[in-house]
Structure 1
Amino acid sequence: MTTRNQKHGVFCGIVPPHVLDRLAESEDPRHYEPARRTLEHDGALRTRRRVTAARTVSGAAAGAASDRPQRTIYDARHGNTLPGAKVHAESEGPAKDATVNRAHAGLGATFDLYFKVYGRHSIDGAGMPLNASVHYGEGYDNAFWDGEQMVFGDGDGDLFLDFTIPVDVIGHELTHGVTQHTANLEYYGQSGALNESVSDVFGSLIKQYALGQSAAQADWLIGAGLLGPGVDRGAALRSMKAPGTAYQDDVLGTDPQPATMAGYVRTSRDNGGVHINSGIPNHAFYLLATALGSNAWERAGRIWYQTLTGGELASDADFAAFARLTVASARTLYGEGDAVQAVLKAWSQVGVPTA
């Protein structure tokens, strides 16, 4: 078992590698050129993260955590040097650049959910400043958390638009930071799929909280609004409500996510299919949230948050271990009742044992 204080050298991008791989094999230079650049750059970033993984991410001093976010936005000016030029501070009003404003708002929406709902002071729980760089790279088709800050590409304008547009993408990537500072889930196989799923869950909750949507009103899509005019048949990157249906496009291909263990994909690519098999725990959360009703960030979200941060979740946990702990969390938070039964049923419906 990996000790909890080790930092995994993880590069977490929102666009799954299997999508970029397919685009890189296209015969259309509009598609393969940005995809190949993005894949090449992401590969270099993964190597860099392995080398720097042992560094400790600095947060606010003990006792100094603020009830308000401390956000700073930088402009990479289409280069690859981070963080870039400082263009917006917490105390400043709206910028002329809409991308800067969206990044600022998305960082704030993420801070708000974690603090106002779960009492967590920023990503690390100790008031960590939230920094982000926009306009990263040339036609860069991704957004990522690098262990210290958020980074957003502008997209290629054809298949992918500006990565600051969907607030759930921002919340997803920042939640990788929360996981890094709590359960520190290994980024491979089922623990890696859980890492991705937890980010999807809280990314969706951040969007729902910001929009004031109930579980029934939410679209349960990850990355809605991100796909560009070159995608004819696609709504988002992933669907928690119906994994495997987010896109079915001649260019992007077909969404490969399974909704249940019956469709579990065994592969050595994408760190053992972390972006694919995450559809299974994603769907379990959707089933739980809609069964409990009301606002998903309340009971369902609290069960997932307690499981992630409670100290019992091993860094190499598989789906079954995570599922068992969600049952225990539901019981601790709400006693024996409908919440526990709803958790048991949700995992049963996706084929993950809890006994």
Structure 2
Amino acid sequence: MTTQNHGIFCGIVPPHVLDRLAQADDAARAEAAQRTLEHDSAHRTRRRVTALRGVAAPAGTPSDSPRRTIYDAQHRATQPGKKVHSEGEAPSKDATVNRANAGLGATFDLYLKVYGRHSIDDAGLPLDATVHYGQGYNNAFWDGSQMVFGDGDGDIFLDFTIPVDVIGHELTHGVTQHTANLEYYGQSGALNESVSDVFGSLIKQYALGQTTDQADWLIGQGLLGPGIDHGVALRSMKEPGTAYDDDVLGKDPQPATMDDYVRTSRDNGGVHINSGIPNRAFYLVASALGGHAWERAGKVWYATLTGGELASDAQFADFARLTAATARTLYGEGDEVQAVLKAWSQVGVPTS
């Protein structure tokens, strides 16, 4: 048996942001963005080749402890690089290595302690990460088997290991790959991105012990550099479309409801854009239920993703119907079901 892999390169920075930066008047900014786009394009090609071969089914040994290894690419575009930290070793003198290690651990902890999942594949997959990738590389990505982090250019973006939700977001692409394997195009692709935002945010909230009203619901807060005057993060789950409005980055294009759904052929049919709609739905569910979002709201989303009924080409309405059914199965006809139904209604997605 093989787990099919759609061969998608999943980076945290949307292509529309990098495209805009590549056209900047500032030559250094444009060059850094262009270099990142070229790297990303090469990775997409390699991932498509990998997808044609298929991916072996999980065959590891589940454990209640992570197996983390951090590699240093030493500013070259190579993977994995030189091994610089193994599980159980004392902290490194390199803060980037320590942040990557901690982020992998925080992700492992949420999935194990809240959802009973043993690593990304539920079979004890070792968690590998490469840091200091490339020269001023403005992205972080999951390549189908490991994490890769750029240092950023120090101007538009800082070190990509800084926000733990970015690490959680990218690793969750691996969880999706091993479960529903949502196709990375159109609405199923936007769901793929949204699921990563949801669990990236939950990993951050769980690590900080935050309740729904204490969380910032931002993806990539702390990532934007000194060259950005008007921006707080890459995305806002609470208020899609408000994360940035800046001369350099442009205006955050995410819609909050289906009324503003963006039809485009770019970005695999707008996967980083229209993900704002299911993101907002999750935020509304979590806020209505209160407490810790990883509990009731998170369990509904996790069970929907991993339950076996979510088709790889699922549309928003399919996902909405399944979350309502899952809430009913888990909690009966209570507040949870009503919160789910109301949230999808508020963002304009039908549940029946």
Instruction: Tell me, yes or no, whether TM beats 0.5.
Output: yes
Residue 18 of structure 1 corresponds to 16
Residue 4 of structure 2 corresponds to 6
Name the SS of the counterpart of 1:93 in structure 2.
Answer: coil
Residue 204 of structure 1 corresponds to 201
Give how far 1:55 is off: 4.1
Give how far 1:31 is off: 1.3
Residue 172 of structure 2 corresponds to 175
Q: Does 1:274 align with 2:268?
A: no
TM-score normalised according to structure 2 size: 0.98
Name the SS of the counterpart of 1:313 in structure 2.
Answer: coil
Residue 149 of structure 1 corresponds to 146
- Partners of 1:176 and 1:286 lie apart in 2 by 19
Q: Does 1:129 align with 2:138?
A: no
Give how far 1:6 is off: 2.0
Name the SS of the counterpart of 1:144 in structure 2.
Answer: strand
Residue 163 of structure 2 corresponds to 166
- Partners of 2:286 and 2:11 lie apart in 1 by 26
TM-score normalised according to structure 1 size: 0.97
Q: Deviations over 1:101-128 (max 9, x none)?
A: 0000000000000000000000000000
Q: Deviations over 1:146-200 (max 9, x none)?
A: 0000000000000000000000000000000000000000000000000000000
Name the SS of the counterpart of 1:92 in structure 2.
Answer: coil
Residue 52 of structure 1 corresponds to 50
Q: Does 1:221 align with 2:196?
A: no
Q: Is the 8 A contact 2:3 2:54 kept in 1?
A: no
Q: Deviations over 1:291-316 (max 9, x none)?
A: 00000000000000000000000000
Give how far 1:60 is off: 5.2
Instruction: State the superposition RMSD in angstroms.
Output: 1.1
Name the SS of the counterpart of 1:88 in structure 2.
Answer: strand
In structure 2, what residue type is equivalent to 1:333?
Answer: L
Structure 1 gap ranges (5+): none
Residue 79 of structure 1 corresponds to 76
Q: Deviations over 1:192-224 (max 9, x none)?
A: 000000000000000000000000100000000
In structure 1, what residue type is equivalent to 2:45?
Answer: T
In structure 2, what residue type is equivalent to 1:345?
Answer: K
Residue 291 of structure 1 corresponds to 288
Identity of aligned residues (%): 79
* Structure-to-structure mapping, 1:178-197, within 5 angstroms: 178-197=175-194
Give how far 1:81 is off: 1.4
Residue 89 of structure 1 corresponds to 86
Residue 38 of structure 1 corresponds to 36
- Partners of 1:228 and 1:88 lie apart in 2 by 27
Name the SS of the counterpart of 1:275 in structure 2.
Answer: coil
- Partners of 2:54 and 2:181 lie apart in 1 by 14
Structure 2 gap ranges (5+): none
Give how far 1:317 is off: 0.2
In structure 2, what residue type is equivalent to 1:35?
Answer: A
Q: Is the 8 A contact 1:59 1:129 kept in 2?
A: no
Name the SS of the counterpart of 2:149 in structure 1.
Answer: strand
Q: Is the 8 A contact 1:4 1:315 kept in 2?
A: no
Name the SS of the counterpart of 2:148 in structure 1.
Answer: strand
Structure 1: 4+ residue segments shifted above 4 A? 57-60
